[in-house]
A and B are shown apart, each in its own frame.
Chain A
């Protein structure tokens, strides 16, 4: 539906149209199809690629319908449409999780501080909310404004969900456009949530060098009472920490976390500790080190009550999204709840943030008393493994194809190396143990094989500072900083957990900017060099060449994409306000940023990646991620790489597949590294920038593939692009493949290559 006068008035009111910080661009608060033409342009080059996980559809009572090959379901949908629909559903799930998180935080903080509570991200962050500015056209000033952001996302979600109903949308391309839209909203939701918690809980901001915090299950002092927060919403934990401090016992306990709440806890208090990523949830909870487990929301295992019970840990669930069938005791007095937990051993649900935090602080020292915490020793592990008959049932259910049966049989003989390697690759699903016909507690056995080392993680710093963008804007756009590598996502890595640290270091060494968040930021800290240093100890935490920085939890991902938007705004002076298409086009063609979701797991990671794609940021995925069934791939030799030269207003066939894909799966670490380096190449690179980028691409390719890249001819525009060190070799190679110089252009843009209301001049500043 096009916008009528009433709708326009409502939008103007929401975004305070009369504020003249920037002119209002063409798409304030876009609805589901308002940016569709941009999506179709993207998909003209980067076509959806589907790998159906299931050939059937069982979404309604007509079905199950067989959609194999060109068969249609009873409603008329085909297999491509069905895969597109799945993609939209995944995006919606992810966006809703972040959105609901943001909604909860904002409602809580507005109750506490009122809706006029000011947004202040410190002296170094003036462009406070690039997503809200660019997508909505609103420059948020208060908590009340942040709520407008969430309301906008909520409205988008209803329309998105409705399109997945049977008999509605049927086109794969249109499902994708909707999916891209929801991905974009996801970044708005994340930005809102992280700004809210940063101002509400006074997290560090406008500071690059945040503290280093303890990381790893080995970092926890198990002789103290230990509380472990599992999930993504730190509201309750912050209240609990306040109460522990007030009671004067904060130093005598250990506040720990798994997943993103852990990130936010250390942003609140760097005395808190991070146990590790999602993949270590079952492992850690089964150690019984936690005296009290507090679950909040998202990426929290569905069987926490059983795990807690089995380990003798107390449990408080704190979110209405995860109630576990527990008694809701929210209405009871604090002391009564404490009694129910400490004396009756009850697991409870408390939906009131302040009450849950207070109860947790009171319960913790009591439940910790008299608990024995003994880890499984090597001798005990050997004893537990004796029953193994090497039936391989465990191997068959492992989603990471690990050779568990051999590892267990080795332990039976007192050999632990294989189990250590299985543990390093284990994604923590617990299926092997469930399947074992001999009831061998495989995950517990891992306690005897795991490293109990202590690591460091840099406390999440939130937004990238404007001053940093001013400094790196030009080198990024010219290509002399070869790229921004954003390593995000969950922790089901195909190989060892250390892979993420290795990938991050490869690029930091080469002076790319490496940005991390969420579980990936934790995993990256879990590798030490010969001197015992992690990448956080070794590399500066600046958003600059060779920097390695942690922005924070999942929702802080919005600051990574926000940084790319800020390059367009602060460096290139393009207005952000309601100007999504222009900003996305700028990023796609001129900012060499690439995401890596090496261990994608949750639907949130899918939504984040999809949002990156609409914004022109390519994403490289690990092999597990193919199970989300959809990628955006080009075919470099066959596709048309024509863009507009914005200055000359001429169409130019660049013949250059840059960036080559928007979403691609790679199977090995080596291939991921090469692909990341290649996807940083942009048409806007100067000759000097292109030389630097090709220098890295060639050297990485040689290192891992043993030859010059066989697509090198695609990225050399003329002789000046050839890195000096490889000049002779590359020139000879180019001759053998019949390479010819390619046309040069000064301002590459998609605007003007498809029907759009945006004038070409809008990209020229």
Chain B
């Protein structure tokens, strides 16, 4: 694992993420998920990757994967504008709190999720929520799609510049579609 981009997320522990340098193996792993959930954080409203809103990448990934959608913070409005009605609206810590419970019915009431994708959550809050899941939700896998290393996720992207990140997300979407 490389050092997280933000030092505030520096890792102090034993079990850390697998950094997925290449999007294709990640796409492969994701495709195996039975009940994936995509969690949108507030950066999805703000970050623009060369003309395309981060949220749009997230929506495309969720759609391709058939993932349920959870809107956190103030992302619901923008999702609605993009024509996506989220399956649930929670704060980041609330959805994490539900995910901890293996018997939870999930946002679609069809059973708890087995794979959770996070995009656009504030890096410190995100890494801590992932720590909750790492310790208390061993029944699920997590992946972060932000451009930084998140040590507490199961799978993480490497630290990337915006152009490489865009490329990664695009290749990931291709991989999911193929």
Closest Cβ–Cβ distance, residue A626 to chain B (whole Å): 5
A396 touches B7 (CB 8 A): yes
Which residues of B have CB within 8 Å of A764? Answer: none
Closest Cβ–Cβ distance, residue B111 to chain A (whole Å): 14
B91 touches A671 (CB 8 A): yes
Closest Cβ–Cβ distance, residue B63 to chain A (whole Å): 20
The residue that B74 contacts in the complex, of A49, A624, A633, A668, with Cβ under 8 A, is A668
The residue that A66 contacts in the complex, of B8, B13, B76, B132, with Cβ under 8 A, is B13
Say yes or no for B24: interface residue by CB 8 A criterion: no
Contact with B along A55-96 (1 / 0, CB 8 A): 110000000001011000000000100000000000000000
The residue that A55 contacts in the complex, of B15, B41, B121, with Cβ under 8 A, is B15
> Roughly how many angstroms separate A666 CA and B73 CA in the complex, as a whole number?
7
Closest Cβ–Cβ distance, residue B81 to chain A (whole Å): 7
B93 touches A707 (CB 8 A): no
B138 touches A664 (CB 8 A): no
> Roughly how many angstroms separate A399 CA and B125 CA in the complex, as a whole number?
11
> Roughly how many angstroms separate A603 CA and B100 CA in the complex, as a whole number?
27
Which residues of B have CB within 8 Å of A66? Answer: 13-14
Given contacts A54-B12, A69-B134, A667-B73, contact A627 B5 (CB under 8 A): no
The residue that B94 contacts in the complex, of A54, A664, A705, with Cβ under 8 A, is A664
Which residues of A have CB within 8 Å of B80? Answer: 706-707
Which residues of A have CB within 8 Å of B41? Answer: 667
Contact with A along B110-132 (1 / 0, CB 8 A): 00000000000111110011011
The residue that B98 contacts in the complex, of A68, A624, A635, with Cβ under 8 A, is A635
A399 touches B124 (CB 8 A): yes
B136 touches A68 (CB 8 A): no
> Roughly how many angstroms separate A397 CA and B7 CA in the complex, as a whole number?
5
B5 touches A396 (CB 8 A): yes
Say yes or no for B77: interface residue by CB 8 A criterion: yes
- Most chain B CB atoms below 10 A, which of A66, A494, A626, A666: A626
Contact with A along B75-117 (1 / 0, CB 8 A): 0110011000000110111101110010010000000000000
B8 touches A68 (CB 8 A): no
The residue that A68 contacts in the complex, of B88, B132, B134, with Cβ under 8 A, is B134
Closest Cβ–Cβ distance, residue B76 to chain A (whole Å): 4
> Roughly how many angstroms separate A668 CA and B76 CA in the complex, as a whole number?
12
Contact with A along B47-59 (1 / 0, CB 8 A): 0000000000000
Which residues of A have CB within 8 Å of B76? Answer: 705-707
Contact with B along A479-498 (1 / 0, CB 8 A): 00000000000000010000
A705 touches B89 (CB 8 A): yes
- Most chain B CB atoms below 10 A, which of A79, A635, A704, A705: A705
The residue that B73 contacts in the complex, of A626, A629, A671, with Cβ under 8 A, is A671
The residue that B122 contacts in the complex, of A638, A664, A667, with Cβ under 8 A, is A667
Closest Cβ–Cβ distance, residue A636 to chain B (whole Å): 9
> Roughly how many angstroms separate A627 CA and B123 CA in the complex, as a whole number?
12
Say yes or no for B142: interface residue by CB 8 A criterion: no
A53 touches B128 (CB 8 A): yes
Closest Cβ–Cβ distance, residue A675 to chain B (whole Å): 7
> Roughly how many angstroms separate A399 CA and B14 CA in the complex, as a whole number?
23
> Roughly how many angstroms separate A674 CA and B6 CA in the complex, as a whole number?
29
B5 touches A665 (CB 8 A): no
A52 touches B6 (CB 8 A): no
The residue that B91 contacts in the complex, of A79, A397, A665, with Cβ under 8 A, is A665
Say yes or no for B36: interface residue by CB 8 A criterion: no
Given contacts A53-B131, A666-B73, contact A494 B13 (CB under 8 A): no
The residue that A50 contacts in the complex, of B12, B77, B123, B136, with Cβ under 8 A, is B136
Which residues of B have CB within 8 Å of A665? Answer: 91-93, 125
The residue that B92 contacts in the complex, of A53, A55, A627, A667, with Cβ under 8 A, is A667
8 Å CB contacts to A: which residues of B10-57?
Answer: 12-15, 41-42
Say yes or no for A169: interface residue by CB 8 A criterion: no
Which residues of A have CB within 8 Å of B98? Answer: 635
Residue of B nearest to A709 (CB): B89
Which residues of B have CB within 8 Å of A401? Answer: 6, 122-124
State how many residues of chain A have any CB contact under 8 Å with chain B: 40
A56 touches B12 (CB 8 A): yes
Which residues of B have CB within 8 Å of A341? Answer: none
Say yes or no for A417: interface residue by CB 8 A criterion: no
> Roughly how many angstroms separate A671 CA and B72 CA in the complex, as a whole number?
9
A706 touches B81 (CB 8 A): yes
Say yes or no for A502: interface residue by CB 8 A criterion: no
Say yes or no for A120: interface residue by CB 8 A criterion: no
Say yes or no for A670: interface residue by CB 8 A criterion: yes
Which residues of B have CB within 8 Å of A79? Answer: 135
- Most chain A CB atoms below 10 A, which of B8, B91, B98, B134: B91
Which residues of B have CB within 8 Å of A26? Answer: none
Residue of A nearest to B130 (CB): A51
Closest Cβ–Cβ distance, residue B80 to chain A (whole Å): 5
Which residues of B have CB within 8 Å of A629? Answer: 128
Which residues of A have CB within 8 Å of B135? Answer: 50, 52, 55, 68-69, 79
8 Å CB contacts to B: which residues of A677-717?
Answer: 704-707, 710
Which residues of B have CB within 8 Å of A707? Answer: 76-77, 80
Closest Cβ–Cβ distance, residue A394 to chain B (whole Å): 11
B74 touches A50 (CB 8 A): no
Closest Cβ–Cβ distance, residue A601 to chain B (whole Å): 14
The residue that A706 contacts in the complex, of B12, B72, B77, B121, with Cβ under 8 A, is B77
Given contacts A55-B13, A68-B13, A626-B93, contact A670 B124 (CB under 8 A): no
A675 touches B13 (CB 8 A): no
B124 touches A624 (CB 8 A): yes
Closest Cβ–Cβ distance, residue B43 to chain A (whole Å): 10
A667 touches B125 (CB 8 A): yes
Which residues of B have CB within 8 Å of A54? Answer: 12-13
Closest Cβ–Cβ distance, residue B73 to chain A (whole Å): 4
Which residues of A have CB within 8 Å of B97? Answer: 49, 633, 635
A396 touches B14 (CB 8 A): no
B14 touches A51 (CB 8 A): no
Given contacts A667-B42, A670-B74, contact A52 B132 (CB under 8 A): yes
Which residues of B have CB within 8 Å of A397? Answer: 7-8
Closest Cβ–Cβ distance, residue B137 to chain A (whole Å): 10
The residue that A626 contacts in the complex, of B72, B88, B101, B125, with Cβ under 8 A, is B125
Which residues of B have CB within 8 Å of A705? Answer: 74, 76-77, 89
A627 touches B91 (CB 8 A): no
> Roughly how many angstroms separate A38 CA and B122 CA in the complex, as a whole number?
35
Closest Cβ–Cβ distance, residue B167 to chain A (whole Å): 20
Residue of B nearest to A397 (CB): B7
Residue of A nearest to B3 (CB): A396
Residue of A nearest to B94 (CB): A633
> Roughly how many angstroms separate A710 CA and B80 CA in the complex, as a whole number?
13
The residue that B15 contacts in the complex, of A68, A631, A704, A710, with Cβ under 8 A, is A68
Say yes or no for A441: interface residue by CB 8 A criterion: no
Could you name 23 residue pairs across A and B whose Cβ atoms are closer than 8 Å?
A: A49-B97, A51-B129, A51-B131, A51-B132, A53-B12, A55-B14, A55-B15, A68-B135, A69-B15, A399-B124, A624-B124, A626-B129, A638-B104, A664-B93, A665-B92, A665-B125, A668-B42, A668-B73, A670-B73, A705-B74, A706-B77, A707-B77, A707-B80
Q: Report which B residues bind A (CB closer than 8 A).
A: 5-8, 12-15, 41-42, 72-74, 76-77, 80-81, 88-89, 91-94, 96-98, 101, 104, 121-125, 128-129, 131-132, 134-136, 138
Given contact pairs A79-B135, A665-B93, A706-B81, a sample of 13 additional A-B residue pairs in the complex whose CB atoms are under 8 Å apart: A50-B132, A52-B131, A56-B13, A56-B14, A397-B8, A399-B8, A399-B124, A664-B94, A667-B72, A668-B74, A670-B73, A706-B76, A707-B80
